[in-house]
Amino acid sequence: MSRDKFGLSYDFFVKMEKQEQEFTLMDICKATDWKQSTPETYISKKWGKFLTKSGVNFRVKGILTYEREAYIRLMSQKNDVSSNPKKPEISPEIENLVLKAREAAIHALDSYNRPRTVFRTEGFVVMMVIAWRSLFHAIFSKRDIDFTYRNKIDNTPLLTDGDKRAWELQNCVDEFYKGSSNPIRTNLEFIIGLRNKIEHRFVPAIDPKVAGECQALLLNFEELLIAEFSEYYALHETLAVPLQITSFRSESQLEAIKQFQTNNYNDVIQYIDKFRDGISNSIYEDLRYSFRVYLIPKIGNHERSSDISLEFIHYDKDNPADMELLKQQVALIREKQIPVANAGMYKPSQVAEAVAKKTGRKFTTQDHTRAWQIYDVRKKGITPIGCNTKYCQFDEVHKDYVYTQDWISFLSMKMSDYAEYEKLLAFKLNS
């Protein structure tokens, strides 16, 4: 039977379902140029999944869940094909890579959403790197692109334990995007660098810092997986929105974790901030680079509404009306921010008090002066020149300095080391 006629019958059914119209066997024949005996046969053998009789006419419901190729496979005379029509026809080698990618992504999500998980972002990122790498390998296999490392002299494949060495994720990204820059590629490159930073570190306090990039990484993966290998392999059918009691760990929990892992945390945060500073605003604000949302309570249409509790509504950023509506909705829930000069900054006496409290050691404002001189945080006198803005800032109005929470954390870590504390006490102040 001609694929063209199967395609015509598919188009006819799609039209009828969208318009919610009834039709006859003769209507099908007119749309496909079939004889009446042909649709009569298919009614009992193939179309029972979505065709129902309504008096002398027929109705179709469910054809929209089939893509065109899936419908054509449903019409196949081969039972192994028609019995699972939504499964795309790909080689076992490619399917193994797709399944590996899919399973790695599910493991990443399972690890991230498990309530008592501490190694949250670290585990998610490592597994998602495996998922993306496997997905790219599947795509390259489908497109007959060689993704193995080769000897530069004779072009033979490089081997590891007898197996061909396949490209790492960065090589895959370079091949797939071939020099072009976009938010998805930037997100992947951020994650690759983050993976390299955290693979051998313990830094759970970064979870809220990179949640947007992690969510975008997952959504981009799902979109590419479906685009290349159809809805059959989609993740969304197996997932549920995780229930939360709080968005993330409390501020006090995060602060305690940061103190425990200060060196690792600061190193990773420096990477994150440097990467974000190096990309354009258009990419940084794109949801494909970092997914950020406001959750707005949804009021059901009825008292016992069966609507889902959370849904994502896509909007067109190039549509002014959509953007204006979004701004209005955000304005409804945005907290009113009163500008406060030097918000989140501390005087020397406040720093000294905080460090003494955190370390249990005596720490005076004079010790604080020794500290900024030893660690070269700022210059002597009243000048912004040479001020390390991570730890201190010059107040132009009052002609003095204020200090950051990072400075308190840094000093607390240093002063917790007895040798470092003794070194500071022995330091002779420069007048």
pLDDT in tens, 354-402: 999 988 899 999 999 999 999 999 988 888 888 888 889 888 888 889 9
pLDDT of residue 243: 47
Per the DSSP assignment, residues forming a β-bridge with 148 are 166
What backbone phi and psi angles, to 5 degrees, belong to 54?
A: -125, 90
Helix H or strand E encompassing 42:
helix 37-45
Q: How confident is the model at residue 315 (pLDDT cuts 50, 70, 90)?
A: low
Q: Which whole-number Å values give the CA distances from 36 to 105, 209, 272, in the listed order? A: 48, 64, 66
Whole-number Å distance between alpha carbons of 184 and 190: 10
Whole-number Å distance between alpha carbons of 411 and 416: 8
The model's pLDDT over 130-158, given as tens digits with 9 standing for 90+, comes to: 999 999 999 999 999 999 989 888 888 88
pLDDT of residue 54: 83
The pLDDT > 70 percentage for the chain reads 79
Strands (E) across 46-205 are located at: 51-54, 57-60, 159-160, 163-164
8 Å CB contact between 134 and 97: yes
- Which domains are present in the chain? 3-82 (1.10.10), 92-241+249-284 (no CATH), 348-426 (no CATH)
pLDDT of residue 257: 47
Task: Give the end-to-end CA distance of the chain in Å, rounded to a whole number.
Answer: 96
HSE (side-chain half, CA atoms, 13 Å) at 298: 14
8 Å CB contact between 394 and 401: yes
Q: How confident is the model at residue 19 (pLDDT cuts 50, 70, 90)?
A: very high
Residue 250 pLDDT exceeds 60:
no
The model's pLDDT over 159-213, given as tens digits with 9 standing for 90+, comes to: 888 788 999 999 999 999 998 889 999 999 999 999 988 876 666 667 778 888 9
Residues ≥6 apart with Cβ < 8 Å to 327 = none
What SS3 state is found at 364?
A: coil
8 Å CB contact between 34 and 5: yes
Residue 247 pLDDT exceeds 50:
no
8 Å CB contact between 290 and 187: yes
Q: How confident is the model at residue 220 (pLDDT cuts 50, 70, 90)?
A: very high
The pLDDT > 90 percentage for the chain reads 41
Residue 413 pLDDT exceeds 70:
yes
pLDDT of residue 341: 63
Helix 262-277 and helix 183-198, axial crossing angle in degrees, nearest 10: 160
Q: Which of 96, 121, 97 is nearest to 109 (CA)?
A: 121
Q: How high is the mean pLDDT of the chain?
A: 82
8 Å CB contact between 161 and 168: no
Q: Which of 424, 377, 425, 367 is nearest to 402 (CA)?
A: 377
Whole-number Å distance between alpha carbons of 62 and 60: 7
pLDDT of residue 382: 82
pLDDT of residue 244: 47
Taking the CA atoms of the chain, what radius of gyration do you get in angstroms?
Answer: 30
HSE (side-chain half, CA atoms, 13 Å) at 232: 18
8 Å CB contact between 46 and 75: yes
Q: Which whole-number Å values give the CA distances from 219 to 105, 215, 236, 332, 333, in the listed order? A: 11, 6, 10, 27, 25
pLDDT of residue 102: 95
pLDDT of residue 98: 96
Instruction: Note the pTM of the prediction, 2 decimals.
Output: 0.62
State which amino acid sits at residue 108: A
Strands 163-164 and 51-54: unpaired
In the structure encoding, which two tokens stand for residue 255, read together? Answer: 């602060």
8 Å CB contact between 323 and 380: no
What backbone phi and psi angles, to 5 degrees, belong to 394?
A: -90, 130
If one counts every other C-beta atom within 10 angstroms of the C-beta of residue 404, the result is: 18
